[in-house]
C-alpha cells in the first residue's frame, strides 16, 4: 500500500508516528500490524478498513501452485505450504513469477503454432543455425 501511495518508508513512518525501521519490519511480516496502528493507518490515509482486510494471498497461492505444476518444475520439491508462504509474504515476487510464466507459455504456444503450420523458417531457428555453423566449419 505504501508503494501504491508513492510514499517512502520514512514518510509513512512520519505519518503514522512510528519509526521507519518499524514500517520496514511490517512490510517484511516481521512485526504484527496492531489494531491501534491499523486504525491510525485507516484514519491517516482515509481508507476503509474492509479494503485493508482483503486477502489476495489465497488467490495468489492457488495461481502460483498451478504455475509450479508445469513440467518444467517437475524435479523441484515445492510443498504447498512454501508456495502459500511465498504468495502471502512476497506478493510482488509472486506476481512477477506469474507474469514470467505467462510469457513463457505464450512463447511456447507461438513456437508450437509456427512449427505446426510449417512456418518455422531456418533463419529464426537457433538449433538449425547452430547445426549449419558446425557443418560449415567442419565440426
pLDDT > 90? residue 14: yes
Q: Convert the pLDDT of each residue in 18-31 to its tens digit.
A: 999 999 998 887 88
Q: Convert the pLDDT of each residue in 56-71 to its tens digit.
A: 667 888 999 999 999 9
- The whole-number average pLDDT for the span 88-97 is 86
CA 76 from centroid of its chain's CA atoms:
18
| Residue closest to 47 by CA, chosen among 19, 14, 5 | 5
CA 108 from centroid of its chain's CA atoms:
20
Q: How confident is the model at residue 44 (pLDDT cuts 50, 70, 90)?
A: very high
Residue 68 to residues 94, 99, 130, Cα–Cα distance (Å): 11, 13, 31
The reported pLDDT for the residue numbered 52 is 67
Question: Grid cell 511490517 — which residue?
Answer: 26
In whole angstroms, what is the distance from residue 64 CA to residue 5 CA?
26
Side-chain half-sphere exposure of 36, counting CA atoms within 13 A: 3
- The whole-number average pLDDT for the span 90-116 is 89
Reply yes or no on domain 1-54 having CATH 3.65.10.10: no
Q: Where are the domains of the chain?
A: 1-54, 55-139
The reported pLDDT for the residue numbered 54 is 60
- The whole-number average pLDDT for the span 109-134 is 78
Amino acid at each position: 500500500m505504501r508503494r501504491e501511495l508513492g510514499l517512502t518508508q520514512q514518510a509513512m513512518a512520519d505519518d503514522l508516528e512510528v519509526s521507519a525501521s518499524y514500517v520496514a519490519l511490517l512490510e517484511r511480516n516481521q512485526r504484527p500490524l496492531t489494531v491501534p496502528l491499523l486504525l491510525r493507518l485507516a484514519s491517516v490515509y482515509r481508507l476503509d478498513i474492509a479494503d485493508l482486510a482483503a486477502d489476495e494471498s489465497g488467490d495468489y497461492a492457488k495461481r502460483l501452485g498451478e504455475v509450479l505444476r508445469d513440467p518444467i518444475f517437475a524435479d523441484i520439491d515445492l510443498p504447498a505450504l512454501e508456495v502459500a508462504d511465498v504468495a502471502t509474504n512476497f506478493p510482488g515476487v509472486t506476481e512477477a513469477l506469474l507474469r514470467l510464466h505467462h510469457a513463457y507459455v505464450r512463447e511456447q504456444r507461438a513456437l508450437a503454432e509456427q512449427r505446426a503450420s510449417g512456418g518455422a523458417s531456418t533463419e529464426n531457428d537457433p538449433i538449425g543455425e547452430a547445426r549449419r555453423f558446425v557443418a560449415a566449419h567442419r565440426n
